[in-house]
Amino acid sequence: MRRKLLFLLLLATGLGALLLLRRRGVRRSERIDLYYEDGSMVSLEDGSPGAARLLPIAADVLRAARA
């Protein structure tokens, strides 16, 4: 019984640590995904020239949709 309890305690501690580390490690990155009629897609990462122009427009659209 003690081994089972110790195992569950260690498992819970490990999962908690894993979740904490994952939250800290995840960086919020923004990108624009452009989907074309032929089924192809282009993803523009934050910092690319195309995304630099489109991200502020997309943020305005999302802000207006929430209002």
pTM of the shown model = 0.50
CB-side exposure of 38: number of CA atoms within 13 Å? 2
Q: Which residues pair with 41 in a beta bridge?
A: 35
For residue 20, give its domain range. 2-66
Using CA atoms, how far apart are residues 49 and 27, in angstroms rounded to an integer?
A: 20
Strands 41-45 and 31-35: antiparallel
pLDDT of residue 65: 92
Written as tens digits, the pLDDT of the chain (67 aa) is: 888 888 888 888 988 888 877 766 566 678 889 999 999 999 988 888 888 888 889 889 989 998 7
Please identify which residue in the block is written with the tokens 């960086």: 27
Domain count for the chain: 1
